[in-house]
Chains A and B, each alone.
Chain A
């Protein structure tokens, strides 16, 4: 009886893991010659789930608009990486070994993309990152591409904006220490800001926190006690929102500067009034269509979901389009190397979020958009072109 009870619990536990880990791929194992499978891995649960969900909206929209390539039906095989680097590596391994996908799209978040990188490289499956902006995602990876700009660009853009438009001469940085995206962005920002001000002490304080932390009162109290005039806080929207909220609770009224991860409705919802005035860089603004595909995307998105698209949804849409474009030019749905070469040769592809050409690292060279949170809405401010 005891053994039986223990066994039952083990089964229940495994059942729960299976339920959550792989909830969306029941129809995965169907073998069919008229189908091309595109692997997708995204954070669909955990701290970054909102980002992954937004991108899936863009992906499903793209699939709906362009359901076929080379006469074959496109099937998306979606895995949840649970906002966890190890899980990201696991699910990508599964996409490669079990599903034999010829191409992968993913994902939101540099940490997960970096974790998946070695597996992708070893298997030789071309992969397109959507909104992973850390330079390490693609450096030294022949098979990893991305449809977004990278943090060395984004960090400089925001440092310049802080200096010139916010008017701050001293800045405090609060970064998520276990997050490759946050730490790299903070580094590019700090270097650029020190150079701009010509003041070695322009960064008055660098505070760290861990993914999933909820109490930031100590870090913020320390910043309040410094002579910082603005706070640069790159990181996930959940933690960033709590940071903004707690800053205002402590009477810390400095302007917040951030980056692309902030553009989720959840950030405004959690932070509430505390988010007002926060500025950040992102990939896309629905106010200013960038290419002919922007219009297609915007109209279809508004019609399907009845809301304004987030930038990451546009990037996911672009990743799908670029993948189909490469497959078409390669003329094969099975030869990963040919698809990879076609992908690398992508030239001035009109994506919804700007024109895409890949540089030698596989990074898209494109403009950044700066937005502000105003009256509970993301408001377009300006576009910054690549230097």
Chain B
């Protein structure tokens, strides 16, 4: 393998990894606060990319306005899911909420088939994201440069919100103990809704970036990225925002490099993610950056 080829693989991995990271962050945040694996995250992601698609094509909006509207709509959509599927089960055993999340995921992707149709649609790529840049034989499309930057910005903003704002303090309090937080005068419902709003906006940003990178949308498009990014979040230590970014990058890197160095195994890319997850869980059950906290039962 030549140096240029290796660099190309490296660029590919960062581009894919940061995309995973972006989506994994939303996953991990909802988990971190609510201890709930939001299986519908992939569908929120799908919804976001479709909204941007419709805003751009059906309503002919310029891309930046379309993206903002898509993010707002997805944010509202995420809060609605929370109200409909999770809030009624707030005091139910955790397993019920998880099943409710799985149900929401199936329901939304199947409704997607009904409303958006089963045929893939082409996501238009604005010119600014479609510039091919070649540096020393390494080729990169400009959208791939935006993705790591957006992931980094999202990471910084999130860390700031969670660690340095009053709402963030409340979020952390809620994650430790609902009842105690409620007794301290925290409006738990409002905090949870806020968490979902942020998580869903992140999913929308992830969905739009994904659609710019891979411009074929189908209603089931959220399932595989959803699973992979869940894995990324678990690898990094679920609930840990920095861990999710790390997990996403590792996953993207691993997937590309397995094809680069073992081309015969190129059909087992997806298997890699799952095998890697098992190995990590065997040695570090709480994930790479996760802390092992005894669960109250």
Q: Is the CB of B106 within 8 A of A208?
A: no
Assuming the A-B contacts A6-B100, A19-B114, A270-B216, are A251 and B134 also in contact, with contact meaning beta carbons closer than 8 angstroms in the complex? yes
Q: Are B2 and A225 in contact (CB under 8 A)?
A: yes
| CB contact list, B99-122 vs A, under 8 A | 99-100, 103-104, 106-107, 110-111, 113-114, 117-120, 122
On whether the beta carbons of A49 and B106 are closer than 8 Å, the reply is: no
Q: Could you tell me the dominant secondary structure of chain B's interface residues?
A: helix
Question: CB distance A16 to B111 under 8 Å?
Answer: yes
Q: Are B270 and A210 touching (Cβ within 8 A)?
A: yes
Question: When each residue 243-262 of chain B gets 1 if its CB lies under 8 Å from chain A and 0 otherwise, what string results?
Answer: 00000000000011111100
Partner of B256, one of A45, A214, A217: A217
Q: How many positions in chain A have a CB within 8 Å of any CB in the partner chain?
A: 51
The A contact surface, by secondary structure, is: helix
Given contacts A242-B214, A249-B141, contact A217 B16 (CB under 8 A): yes
The reply to whether B214 and A218 form a contact with Cβ atoms under 8 Å apart is no
Contact present for A219 and B266 (CB under 8 Å): yes
8 Å CB contact of A12 from B107, B215, B216, B256: B107
Chain B residues within 8 Å of A250, by CB? 8, 139
| A6 adjacent to B96 (CB under 8 Å) | yes
Q: Tell whether, in the assembled complex, residue A241 and residue B216 are in contact, meaning their CB atoms are under 8 Å apart.
A: yes
Chain B's nearest CB lies how many Å from the CB of A15?
A: 8
A218 and B9 contact, CB distance less than 8 A: yes
Task: Give the complex CA separation of A5 and B89 in angstroms.
Answer: 8
Q: Are B120 and A53 in contact (CB under 8 A)?
A: no
1/0 per residue A199-211: CB within 8 Å of B? Answer: 0000001011110
Q: Closest CB of chain B to A363's CB: distance in Å?
A: 28
Contacts of A219 in B (CB 8 A): 259, 263, 266
The verdict on A215 contacting chain B, using a C-beta distance below 8 Å, is yes
CB distance from B263 to the nearest CB of A (A): 6
Name the B residues within 8 Å of A12 (CB-CB). Answer: 103, 107
A13, A17, A47, A272: the one within 8 Å of B218 (CB) = A47
User: Which of chain B's residues has its CB closest to A15's CB?
Assistant: B107
Binding site for A on B (CB under 8 A): 1-2, 5, 8-9, 12, 15-16, 85, 88-89, 92, 96, 99-100, 103-104, 106-107, 110-111, 113-114, 117-120, 122, 132, 134, 139, 141, 210, 213-216, 218-221, 224, 255-260, 263, 266-267, 269-270
Which A residues contact B (CB, under 8 angstroms)? 1-2, 5-6, 9-10, 12-13, 16-17, 19-20, 23, 44-47, 49-50, 53, 80, 82, 177-178, 205, 207-210, 212-215, 217-219, 221-222, 224-225, 238, 241-242, 245, 249-251, 266, 269-270, 272
Task: Give 5 nearest A-B pairs by CB, closest first.
Answer: A45-B118, A208-B267, A218-B259, A177-B267, A49-B118
